[in-house]
């Protein structure tokens, strides 16, 4: 499973990329707004930090403007993936950009039927929002299971399932068990994945016992 981080905070991205575990980045208009920066500057900086796909979302809702915005965002760097909403105009834009060789991430997916449309429109990624479904007492992980199963049935569907709106480490492991290709993680969830109290406890015991030996590996 690939790990993307879901933030436009460049210092967070730099910090997490240093772990060697970050395969890409997703942003959206809300995250860009939170950064307080110009989208073109932020995306360019992120593309310099992480080699993998960097999702930059269009802000228009009509085909002509979405296409022009997408083309402009794609010019920022080779690793930009243009993100479009799952609407008729968004999928038309997806087809046009994909045909021109630009990767597209179709966002705001909340049903398996929408995911089929995105695959048919040539999306490189489909982003089902599991947390927002769970928030309305629906079943986010059930949607991931359905999309993974459907995509596996068709060799001509090349779209990767990018699990979005993740809220916890268990969302990541459940999505991995289902075979989803990518999880996009809020930085806090990526940090939480490292943690286990028995790891901390075990390490403290090893360090204490080691200190008692008086040894140094580097001095031997």
Binding-site ranges for ligand E4P (CB under 6 A)? 6, 26, 28, 107, 127, 129, 131-132, 164-165, 184
Residue whose CB is less far from ligand E4P, 71 or 168: 168
Least distance (Å) between residue 88 CB and ligand E4P: 20
User: Residue 114 or residue 184: which is nearer to ligand E4P going by CB?
Assistant: 184
Q: Give, in order, the Cα–Cα distances in Å from 110 to each of 33, 58, 96, 116, 189.
A: 23, 19, 23, 11, 22
Residue closer to ligand E4P (CB basis): 136 or 217: 136
Least distance (Å) between residue 108 CB and ligand E4P: 8
* DSSP state for residue 80 in the 8-state scheme: E
Catalytic residue flag (residue 2): no
Least Å distance, CB 220 to ligand E4P, is: 48
| Active-site residue, selected from the candidate residues 2, 72, 83, 158 | 83
**Bridge pairing between strands 80-85 and 54-57:** parallel
Query: Tokens 């597209």 — which residue?
Result: 104
Q: Give the C-alpha separation, 128 to 136, whole Å.
A: 14
Residue 177: CB minimum distance to ligand E4P, A? 19
| Torsional class of 184: left (φ above 0), alpha (ψ -120 to 50), beta (otherwise) | beta
Q: Which is nearer to ligand E4P, 174 or 218 (CB)?
A: 174
| Cα distances (Å, whole numbers) of residue 162 to 55, 77, 209, 219 | 11, 21, 44, 47
Determine how many CB atoms are found less than 10 A away from the CB of residue 24. Answer: 22
**Which residues are catalytically annotated?**
83
């Amino acid at each position: 499973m690939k790990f993307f981080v879901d933030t436009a905070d460049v210092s967070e991205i730099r910090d997490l990329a240093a772990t060697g575990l970050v395969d890409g980045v997703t942003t959206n208009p809300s995250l860009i707004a939170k950064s307080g920066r110009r989208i073109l500057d932020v995306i360019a900086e992120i593309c310099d930090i992480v080699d993998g796909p960097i999702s930059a979302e269009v802000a228009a809702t009509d085909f002509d403007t979405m296409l022009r915005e997408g083309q402009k965002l794609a010019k920022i760097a080779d690793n930009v993936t243009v993100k479009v909403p799952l609407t008729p105009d968004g999928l038309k834009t997806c087809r046009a950009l994909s045909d021109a060789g630009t990767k597209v991430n179709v966002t705001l997916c909340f049903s398996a039927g929408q995911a089929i449309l995105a695959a048919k429109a040539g999306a490189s990624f489909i982003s089902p929002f599991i947390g927002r479904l769970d928030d309305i007492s629906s079943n986010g992980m059930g949607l991931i299971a359905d999309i993974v199963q459907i995509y596996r049935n068709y060799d001509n569907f090349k779209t990767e399932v990018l699990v979005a709106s993740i809220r916890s480490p268990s969302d990541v492991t459940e999505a991995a068990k289902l075979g989803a290709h990518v999880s996009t993680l809020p930085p806090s969830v990526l940090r939480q994945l490292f943690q286990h109290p028995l790891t901390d406890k075990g390490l403290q015991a090893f360090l204490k016992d080691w200190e008692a030996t008086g040894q140094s590996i580097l001095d031997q």
